[in-house]
Copies of this chain bind each other. A is one copy, B any other.
């Protein structure tokens, strides 16, 4: 059992629903094991500025249901320099912080990895990002909420699409990954999904629009923002040109996808990995992300966690095709 006395806790990168549930879990678990927790405000930037607040049991009361992150988040250019990280480390020392838990995604863990290698401080990570683009966990904290937000929005858009016989292109988040588009496309009954991992999406869509059923009057297409076709407006332009008889509209869901009350599953996931991270620090673990794979807690080296595969379950694409018959 490693003697940890004071965990520095921070969120970094894009905010995700469930981050607060994870913060609560870390704080309460640490206190349960008589470990103090220091909140680091605005991630690496706060570490450099020494923006620290002690976390008590009540600091995390009534936050399990709130979106965003009470510890705030920010970019830090300075932390990318060796000098910046040195200042950060000295601030931690000064405040007797002897371990770190980082909640975030790729960028967060890249920073955590380097920092843990350069300095003698154990660091663990929790997967907090709506993108679900990390290896080492079946789902990331925030993904389940984000896909429900998308599906709710598309349900609303479909009301209009059906009333007006329109074709809608709905752009969802996912710069490098179609994971949000894929599940929401199935759930929302989309005609087609366009994702960066599938290079033939537009061709397939054109084929459907040309040769598909003529009696279908409204259609929803889900496009990940990172799709090769160049964004929803460009896709809309092309479709309008090629299929002028469709009344084509574009909707970019944008920032609403990051916020909102976390779903039950996101809160449970956040709570589980939050508890496990504190226990893992006590067990002497470091340099890993704590996730859940097949319903069991798993530990994945940062290096591996950020190299998520871009492989897409081909069966999911097939399902979209079959069900939008």
Please list the residues of chain A having a beta carbon within 8 angstroms of any beta carbon in chain B.
11, 14-15, 17, 19, 21, 24-25, 28-29, 31-32, 42, 57, 62, 64-69, 72-74, 138, 144, 147-151, 153, 155-160, 162-165, 168, 183-184, 186-189, 213, 249, 251-256, 258-261, 263-265, 267-268, 271-272, 275, 294-295, 313, 315, 318-319, 322-325
Closest CB-CB distance, A59 to chain B, in whole Å?
12
The dominant DSSP class at the A interface is: helix
Query: Can you report 27 A-B residue pairs in the complex whose CB atoms are below 8 A from each other?
Result: A11-B163, A15-B164, A28-B323, A57-B213, A57-B325, A65-B158, A67-B156, A74-B164, A138-B295, A144-B264, A147-B264, A148-B264, A151-B264, A156-B255, A156-B259, A157-B255, A157-B259, A168-B255, A183-B265, A184-B264, A186-B272, A187-B265, A187-B268, A251-B255, A252-B252, A272-B319, A275-B318
Chain B residues whose C-beta falls within 8 Å of the C-beta of A267 in the assembled complex: 151, 186-187
Are the C-beta atoms of A162 and B68 separated by less than 8 Å? yes
Chain B, residue nearest A185 (CB): B268
A68 contact from B24, B69, B147, B159, Cβ within 8 A = B159
